[in-house]
Amino acid sequence: MPIKTSNRSNKYSSLNVLIIAGVTPYQRKPNEEYMSYDQLLHFKRILETWKNQLKYNLEYSTLCVQNQESVNFPDPVDRATQEEEFNIKLRNRDRERRLIEKIEKTLKKIDTNEFGFCASCDVEIGIRRLEARPTADLCIDCKTLEEIKEKQMTG
């Protein structure tokens, strides 16, 4: 059963995802190969649970928006508040939709045994980093370099 969250705590941190999935942080076994079958199952469970929760939230917010569309406030301030709340909900729905697409892309990587390795330098991303951000496709070093480059380009 999906867990309802309030608007204020509607953040999808990895800890929330692990809790929702009923998963504890992965304990690597001695001499276990990186991205073993058990590890891939661990991350697949996390990603599928996260995706299902996001889909549930999307459906719920769609119903809420549909129910609120019929309300038309005569007061311009109330109407403006309603429109702003509607715009925020639309942005959140779009963000969740894009995240679902990214999760689906990551699930395909698991199926093709490409998951867990940096897209840039092909080194191991690491289990803890993947638990913190299951959709990560860059190792911490490559991600840091990418952020530095972005900062230089915009700053």
For the stretch 126-135, pLDDT in tens is 999 999 899 9
**Which is higher by pLDDT, 57 or 15?**
57
pLDDT digits (tens, 9 = 90+) for 36-57: 999 999 999 999 999 998 998 8
**Which is higher by pLDDT, 39 or 5?**
39
> Which amino acid is located at 104 in the chain?
E
The pLDDT > 70 percentage for the chain reads 81
- Give the CA dihedral 6, 9, 11, 13, nearest 10 degrees: -130
CA terminus-to-terminus distance, the chain: 45
Cα separation, 29 vs 27, in Å, equals 6
Distance set, CA 52 to CA 23, 106, 141 (Å): 15, 14, 31
Q: Which two tokens stand for residue 21?
A: 């999935």
Mean pLDDT of 107-118: 96
Please say if the pLDDT value at position 18 is more than 70.
Answer: no
Distance set, CA 38 to CA 27, 45, 101, 137 (Å): 10, 11, 24, 20
Q: Which two tokens stand for residue 139?
A: 């190792």
**Which is higher by pLDDT, 2 or 31?**
31
